[in-house]
């Protein structure tokens, strides 16, 4: 009972961390969103802001939750501590302070150790799909979190000294959550893309990523953005771009004026999400659902490519 009341009390904290889009509270959530919210609280432990930020686009919300649930939370070959250590390592490489804070704390809570992403050879062939699946999932969430959440798992007005106590409270609730049994994937069936062929050894991971990616890919994204991002990803070395964002403006100049703002946002989400600001969001002139759909599509495209660039043969 105490945990249930605490989870309800923390709902406002989750919503307060969302920026650039209007968060959807429990009391205003439609049936699709409410179903996901309840599942997140039950199986993750708290209403996780990295999932909540997607609520304006219910199909994308569900797809993001399926990835997190099936790949990171559900039991598999890897223990939860190792999965959290992989999540923390990816977040550190992507310079996502929010995710670093949360996954470093949960790694400790679940007894995980440090993971070197350059040494995937330490894992067995059976474990590797889960390792790379967690890496892909965090590559995606790091980007969405960097754009749409505050830098810390706290409201922007909260004093810094509260970060430690709040983080410990959150990880305690996460550790006490019910088991997320694998294979509960409500998304429509989708074929495993060639670029995710490494996931075939784990049907749960393969279907979570394939089906979620299919949802993201179905977003109403300008064709010019799809073509340009594919070209940029094909020559990408996997690192964050910057500190200037002139490169994004130069690349977007290659498409028609009508699509340039959307292309800039897509490029920044993929290659430098920390550089997205109010001006970039405002220039797109889209509603919250369209913003989330565009950002999710670009973030997943970059996540899949980033994993392909970092993985090594089993």
pLDDT at 311 over 70: no
Alpha carbons 47 and 40: distance in angstroms, whole number:
6
Please report which helix (H) or strand (E) contains residue 63, including its range: helix 58-67
pLDDT category, 5, cuts 50, 70, 90?
Answer: low
The neighbouring-strand residues paired with 149 are: 18
Q: Are 212 and 91 in contact (CB under 8 A)?
A: no
pLDDT category, 227, cuts 50, 70, 90?
Answer: very high
Lowest-confidence segment of 15-19, 24-28, 119-123, 186-190 by average pLDDT: 119-123
For 234, residues 6+ apart whose C-beta sits below 8 A from its C-beta are none
- Tokens at 142, concatenated: 């790091």
Alpha carbons 270 and 295: distance in angstroms, whole number:
8
pLDDT at 165 over 90: no
Q: How many CA atoms lie within 13 A of 7 on its CB side?
A: 23
pLDDT at 140 over 50: yes
pLDDT category, 312, cuts 50, 70, 90?
Answer: very low
> Residue 141's closest CA among 99, 93, 193?
99
pLDDT category, 139, cuts 50, 70, 90?
Answer: very high
Count, residues in the chain? 314
pLDDT in tens, 36-66: 999 999 998 889 999 999 999 999 999 999 9
pLDDT at 314 over 60: no
- Name the burial class of residue 307, with classes exposed (0-12), middle (13-18) and buried (19+) by CB atoms within 10 angstroms of its CB: buried
Between 2 and 139, the more confident residue is 139
> Residue 299's closest CA among 222, 203, 229, 220?
229
Q: Are 43 and 182 in contact (CB under 8 A)?
A: no
For 123, residues 6+ apart whose C-beta sits below 8 A from its C-beta are 131, 314
CA dihedral 211, 216, 217, 221 (to 10 degrees): 170
b/e per residue 118-154 (b: at least 16 CB within 10 A): eebeebeeebbbbbbbbbbbbbbbbbbbbbbbbebbb
SS3 149: strand
What crossing angle do the helices spanning 128-148 and 288-310 adopt, rounded to 10°? 140
Q: Are 49 and 146 in contact (CB under 8 A)?
A: no
Alpha carbons 107 and 78: distance in angstroms, whole number:
13
């Amino acid at each position: 009972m105490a945990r249930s009341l605490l989870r309800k009390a923390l709902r406002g904290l989750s919503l307060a961390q969302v920026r650039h889009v209007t968060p959807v509270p429990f009391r205003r959530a439609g049936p699709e969103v409410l179903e996901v919210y309840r599942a997140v609280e039950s199986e993750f432990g708290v209403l996780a802001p990295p999932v909540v930020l997607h609520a304006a686009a219910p199909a994308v919300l569900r797809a993001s939750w399926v990835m997190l649930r099936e790949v990171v939370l559900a039991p598999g070959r890897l223990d939860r501590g190792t999965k959290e250590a992989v999540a923390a390592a990816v977040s550190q490489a992507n310079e996502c302070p929010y995710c670093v804070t949360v996954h470093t704390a949960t790694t400790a809570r679940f007894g995980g150790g440090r993971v070197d992403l350059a040494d995937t050879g330490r894992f067995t062939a059976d474990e590797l799909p889960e390792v790379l699946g967690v890496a892909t999932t965090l590559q995606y969430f790091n980007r969405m979190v960097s754009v749409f959440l505050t830098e810390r798992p706290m409201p922007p007005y909260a004093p810094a000294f509260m970060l430690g106590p709040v983080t410990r409270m959150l990880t305690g609730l996460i550790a006490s959550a019910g088991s997320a049994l694998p294979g509960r994937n409500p998304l429509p069936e989708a074929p495993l893309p060639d670029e995710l062929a490494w996931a075939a050894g784990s049907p749960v991971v393969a279907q979570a990523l394939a089906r979620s990616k299919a949802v993201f890919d179905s977003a109403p994204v300008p064709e010019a953005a799809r073509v340009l991002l594919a070209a940029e990803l094909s020559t990408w070395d996997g690192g964050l771009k910057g500190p200037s964002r002139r490169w994004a403006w130069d690349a977007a100049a290659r498409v028609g004026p009508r699509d340039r703002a959307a292309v800039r946002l897509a490029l920044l989400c993929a290659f430098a999400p920390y550089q997205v600001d109010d001006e970039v969001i405002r220039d797109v002139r889209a509603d919250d659902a369209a913003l989330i759909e565009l950002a999710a599509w670009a973030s997943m495209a970059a996540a899949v490519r980033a994993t392909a660039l970092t993985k090594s043969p089993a």
